[in-house]
Chains A and B, each alone.
Chain A
Amino acid sequence: MTQALSPRFKNLIGLLLLAVLLAVVLPLVLEPFRLNMVGKYLTYAFVAVGLVLCWGNAGILSLGQGVFFGLGGYAMAMYLKLQSSTLEATKIQSTPGIPDFMDWNQITELPFFWVPFKSLPLSLLAVVLVPMAFAFIVSFPMFKRRVGGVYFAIITQALAAIMTILIVGQQGYTGGINGITDLRTLAGWDIRTDSAKTILYFVNVALLLGAIGLCLLVRGSKLGRILVAMRDKEDRVRFSGYDVASFKVFVFCLAAALAGVGGAMFTLQVGFMSPSFVGIVPSIEMVIYTAVGGRLSLFGAVYGTLLVNWAKTSFSESFPELWLFGLGALFIAVVLLFPNGLAGLYRSHVEPRIDAFLGRKGRSGSTPAPAPAE
């Protein structure tokens, strides 16, 4: 059996196609407003890509990715908020120099956990490290005790709920239900202009492609194979002498870090961060992006995210009543009918034809797609 195209080569082509679509085609076709919207969708794609690794490859379903998205987003928003809360801009407050919502809640001093966010490098570090650290604290005891599957999903979901209640309840420290709004500049650079938004879009695309590249590397390495082995027969991997828990913690932390970066890019492009992107509903919606794209395919996750969000926007614009029906049906259909999502459809219907077109028959196109993870 000769491989028509090596998987590595295919991945490279996939990455290239995605890069062309995101960085050349869409900016040429779409007006700035729509492009900014695509940029917003693409920030969710960070989470979806992380979920492919975490859920599709390693079999760990997290329903709390919104927490990490939110942590990253809030880290960025806190920095931006402090930037716009200069002494001058806030001189009408009873305590100038602190964010306006703190002043409204009779807080007279900047809380200690806000202080590091005065510096840009520290904030950027926090965008990645805070979600990772939190993911580590959450996952380490659980994986060590071999909590997995359904229980892990329920506990992460509870964390998403706790986080939302906490953010909404502590209005003085977090901005409450409105979130952190009125963000203006990044190190003196106005992020609200059209040109800034376009630049941020390209930064976002570059980061996303980098993230996918990183995940491809992880998947292609021996580590990636251990992850898959763990998903399918955890005990055998353990008996072979691998420390299963550490691998799981690693992949969960990686997914959390990616989600954090996505959250930070979200804040930059949309201009605010609020608890409505942290809770149960957004977290589980991010899972459906991954499921629609194909839980085993990194590229599928990006296309799935774009497709679902595009559908959401266009449905909500014209038939808001129908959207929830559509989304609900999508959840059910994806699970019952297309467990491998778009990527599965592509693999079973399109890819064999491409291979046939290239004139090489009798190869991997006929192998069945791998069974979905639990």
Chain B
Amino acid sequence: MFMGYSLGELGSIFAMQAFAGLILFSVFVLMSLGLAIIFGQMGVINMAHGEFMILGAYMTYLTSQAFQAFAPGLYGIYFFVAMVVAFCASGALGMLVEWSMIRFLYKRPLDTLLATWGLSLIMQQAFRSIFGAREVGVELPEWMMGSLAITDTIEVQINGLFVMGLTTLIAIAVYLLMFRSRWGLQVRAVVLNRPMAGAVGIDSERVDRFTFGLGCGIAGIAGSAFTMIGSTGPTAGQLYIVDTFLVVVFGGAASLAGTIASAFTISQAQSTMEFFMSGSMAKVLTLLVVVCILMVRPEGLFVLKVRR
């Protein structure tokens, strides 16, 4: 399969493929960070995670429409506003869901799964009724279009670079919040030992609500970033949910660093294989390998050592 390519061309192909893999990596990280907080830290299976993402995407779409209508001059910066809107909308809905549904189900994880699946169906139909069944896309601001030519044969898209930068920023922010702030300390305390955390005066219900909201909010930002590289439809969230869960489980559910490492492994594997075979077979093979590894090593790549 390497016939007919010169060494330089082959190098460029691999570089481009690696870059595509990096974009996929950013997408996976954005998707799974929120879930890693909700599933990994709280142990809640949120099947509607994809729909929270799509909510963020639609919020971005609405914001871009609003900017086009009322402030076309400021269109260059609409995305930053949209991200905040997406975070707030998804986060607020997440907190509402936690309050009305999830908090009754903490002891029944499999039931949470069914209930949030129901929620995802409702959200899908709501999107379809409000925004229509057709996919919508946003118009990129001018500075985000085009690509940078690094050499004659290697080009990278600016929107891809932007998404990668954004992912790095969010990952750092989540790290600071979880491991360097007082609030993150409370979250980790509740995760490790709920009764004891309560005994030292942490309001565990409030912590739960905000943690769930944060996870959903990050999903919203992920959806917002998605609009930069693709269009949004009402059922798009379902496409990602399996990948996202596998990334989180493969990384070792309780470890944020593991999530990032596993997102990197899976995305690079998939995009490299996509060059050699059809996209669907690459996906099947990647998922199969992940599933097989999980069968043998169910605790995932990184294990948080806790005495239970």
Contacts and interface: CB of A to CB of B under 8 A. Distances in A.
Given A157-B245, A329-B118, A150 B284 contact: no
Nearest to B123: A328
Nearest to B297: A145
Contact of B284 (A162, A281, A331): A162
B120 A374 contact: no
Contacts, number: 125
B107 to A, nearest CB: 8
Given A151-B249, A284-B117, A141 B295 contact: yes
Interface stretch (B17-25, B73-81, B275-283): B275-283
Given A162-B287, A336-B101, A145 B122 contact: no
Contact of B280 (A168, A281, A374): A168
B306 interface: no
B105 to A, nearest CB: 7
Interface in A113-153: 138, 141-142, 145-147, 149-151, 153
Contacts of B126: 325
Given A161-B287, A327-B118, A372-B111, A169 B281 contact: yes
A147 B283 CA distance: 24
A331 B114 contact: yes
Given A155-B295, A165-B284, A331 B115 contact: yes
Main secondary structure of the interface of A (DSSP, over half): helix
Contacts of B122: 324-325, 328-329
B296 A169 contact: no
Nearest to B112: A335
Interface bracket on A? 35 or more
Contact of A150 (B45, B107, B291, B296): B45
B308 interface: no
Interface residues of B, number: 45
Contact of A154 (B121, B246, B296): B246
A162 B291 CA distance: 10
B157 interface: no
Given A154-B249, A159-B291, A336 B104 contact: yes
Interface in A284-304: 284, 287-288, 291
Contact of A142 (B112, B124, B241, B295): B295
B12 interface: no
Contacts of A339: 111
A107 to B, nearest CB: 16
Contacts of B101: 332, 336
B294 to A, nearest CB: 6
Contact of A141 (B105, B245, B296): B296
A146 B108 CA distance: 19
Nearest to A339: B111
A155 B284 contact: no
B129 A321 contact: yes
A166 interface: yes
Interface string A318-354: 0001001101111110111001000000000000000
Contacts of A159: 291
B32 to A, nearest CB: 13
Given A324-B122, A331-B117, A151 B298 contact: yes
A331 B283 CA distance: 30
A61 B113 CA distance: 10
B246 A158 contact: yes
Contact of A321 (B43, B125, B281, B287): B125
Given A145-B296, A166-B284, A374-B111, A155 B125 contact: no
A280 interface: yes
Contacts of B291: 155, 158-159, 162
B118 A154 contact: no
B238 interface: yes
Nearest to A156: B291
B10 interface: no
Nearest to A150: B109
A9 B110 CA distance: 33
Interface string A165-206: 110110000000000000000000000000000000000000
A63 B114 CA distance: 10
Interface in A237-270: none
A108 B246 CA distance: 38
B288 to A, nearest CB: 6
A288 B121 CA distance: 13
Contacts of B121: 324-325, 327-328, 331
B119 interface: yes
A335 B105 contact: yes
Contacts of B281: 169
B242 interface: yes
Contacts of B43: 150
Contacts of B294: 147, 151, 155
9 contacts: A149-B110, A151-B298, A154-B245, A154-B249, A168-B280, A332-B118, A332-B119, A335-B115, A374-B108
Given A332-B119, A336-B104, A374-B108, 9 more contacts: A150-B45, A158-B287, A166-B280, A280-B241, A324-B124, A329-B122, A331-B117, A335-B118, A336-B101
Top-10 shortest CB links A-B: A331-B118, A169-B280, A328-B122, A328-B121, A324-B125, A328-B118, A147-B298, A335-B115, A332-B118, A161-B242
